[in-house]
Structures are given as C-alpha cells and as structure tokens.
Amino acid sequence: MDGRRLTRRGSALCHELAEGHDALPEVLELLADCIGTDLVSCATFEAGSTLFVPGAEHPLLVLHGCAPLTETMLATWDRLLPSHPYAAHLASTPTPAPRLTDVVDLPALEGSAVFELCLRPHGARYQCGLTLDRAPGRLVLLSLWRNDRDFDDPTVETLQLFARAVGAALQVGASLGALRQLSGGVPGAEVLSPRQQQVASMVALGLTNEQIARRLGLTTRTVRKHLEDAFARTGARSRTELAVRWRQEVPSRADLTASV
C-alpha cells in the first residue's frame, strides 16, 4: 500500500470534490494504484423494498478496473442484488462491517447466482465496502474488490479514514452546488476542475482523446469522463463548442498545456 501517495494526492482530490468538481474517476484510479485492487466502484443506490436497490433509473455508477456495464449486466445486478448478503448488511446496518468476510461465509457466497453472474466475471471475490453518505432512502457506497487476497486491518483502517474525507468533500461540494444554483449563475469554463481545464485546453488545440490520455498519463476512458463532465458544466454540446468557449472565456490560459 502506497499510503504516502494516497494521502498526498487524495487530499488534493478531496479539495476538488469540495469545490464541486467531479474528481471521482481519479479517486478510484488512485485507490486502485495505491491499494492494489482488481475493481473499484462508487455507486449511489435508492431505497426499494427492504434493500437499497436500483430503481427505474440506474444508480450513479463510476467504475475503475472493468469496462462499462452493459444493459444486460445492469439488469442482472438489479435482479440479483437483493440476494447478496453483504449488500443487505451494508444497506441495513448503521455502522456496517467494512469487509465482506466479516459477515459472509465466502464459500457459501461463491455458490450463489450473484457471485457467478455478477462478481466472478470481474475478479470480485473479496470486497471492502465503505459508506460515503447515508440518508433515508439513499446510500452512496465506495467498494473495492480483489480476487486473490482479502483486505488486512491496516489497509481497512486507512480506507475508512480516506472514505470519511471523500464523503465529507462530496457533501460540501453538493451544498456549494446548491448555493450556486440559487444564485442563478450560468456555468462556464471557470467551473471546470484543474484536470478538466487541461483536457479542455488540449481539445482546443485539436488533440484527440488518445493523445490527451498519453499527454496526461490517463486512460482514454478517464479522458472521456472528464470531457463529458466539461460538457455538462459549461453547457457545450460538442468538442468544437467546448473549444470555442475555452478560447473565449479563458484566453489567458490558452497555453495551459505548455506547463503540462
């Protein structure tokens, strides 16, 4: 576990989240690199029946370590999640156990449909589940999975501290976002996170997602996510429109990539 990098970079990302920027993809990448995982996710579940399960609309889901889930896989999760004993524990317990193996007999779980169809294909045998936010009818869950080994106590303690910081930052960011909406402000390039600004400036230079990914040391999937977030925050409907807005609104930062 690279605790020093997790602390240093994690603190910076929490500041971005508190400012209302979508840094979750980078948070998941950081966890995967520093902790060592096969899969990391952050999902928001809405209450349904006695268990938090996705409703008519799929929950907010950010993944690192696997391809985006297909509609078929999402439907399978919708159907089988209520049968997952650790999911039920996380949803119903105010202070849930952080490890699947703390409450679930792993050999028994491995014989279930939810494991065979949803977990095994992604190498998701051992799970560490961390609550980022909990409210009536709502649960925001950060999950880390490994295939070959469980999460030891020191790692779990570090992850619990990290999750508390991320959860607090998300709540601050949501509150500030609500205040901005009340003020009637129109989102522009100034609301972009530093990473989104870098991506926007490179789009303005005509670089492709693959070229941006190589330049910044990211995956193309992460670049696409930053680009989608930049569209949402600025109201741009295309790469061309984003590039035009960037040049018009932040001409003084047009050469931002020179320092990258």
pLDDT digits (tens, 9 = 90+) for 154-170: 999 999 999 999 999 88
In the three-class reduction of DSSP (H, G, I as helix; E, B as strand; rest coil), residue 59 is classed as coil
Which residues, 6+ apart, have CB-to-CB distance to 27 below 8 Å? Answer: 10, 13, 17, 42, 166
pLDDT of 238 reads 72
Query: ∠222-24-203 over CA atoms, to 5°?
Result: 35
Evaluate if residue 6 carries a pLDDT over 60.
yes
Supply the pTM of this predicted model: 0.66
Whose CA is closest to 137, among 42, 51, 59?
A: 51
**Residue 115: which residues within 8 A CB-CB, separation 6 or more?**
109
pLDDT of 187 higher than 50: no
CA 46 to chain centre: 17
Q: Which residues belong to CATH 3.30.450.80 in the chain?
A: 3-181
SS3 87: helix
Please give the C-alpha separations between residue 109 and each of 66, 68, 85, 104, 124, in angstroms, as whole numbers: 22, 24, 8, 7, 12
In angstroms, how far is CA 38 from the centroid of its own chain? 15
The answer to whether the beta carbons of residues 114 and 83 sit under 8 Å apart is yes
191 — pLDDT class (breaks 50, 70, 90): low
Average pLDDT, integer, range 29-58: 70
Q: What is the pLDDT of residues 119-132, one digit of tens each?
A: 888 888 999 999 99
Least confident range of 142-151, 205-214, 250-259: 250-259
Long-range Cβ contacts of 183-188 (<8 Å, 24+ apart):
186/235, 187/233, 187/234, 187/235, 188/234, 188/245, 188/249
Strands (E), the chain: 39-48, 51-52, 61-64, 126-135, 138-146
Residue 239's DSSP bridge partners are none
Query: What was the pLDDT predicted at 147?
Result: 92
- CATH for 189-259 is 1.10.10.10
Res 177: pLDDT: 64
The CATH homologous superfamily to which domain 3-181 belongs is: Transcription factor LuxR-like, autoinducer-binding domain (3.30.450.80)
C-alpha 206/C-alpha 111 separation (Å) is 51
How far from chain centre, in Å, is Cα 246? Answer: 26
> For residue 54, what pLDDT is reported?
44
- The pLDDT value given to residue 60: 59
What pLDDT is recorded for position 92?
Answer: 83
What does each C-alpha distance from 139 to 27, 87, 190, 247 come to in angstroms?
18, 11, 31, 40
Q: What percent of the chain has pLDDT over 90?
A: 27
Asked whether 229 and 22 are in contact (CB, 8 A), the reply is: yes
Looking at the chain, the domain(s) classified CATH 1.10.10.10 span 189-259
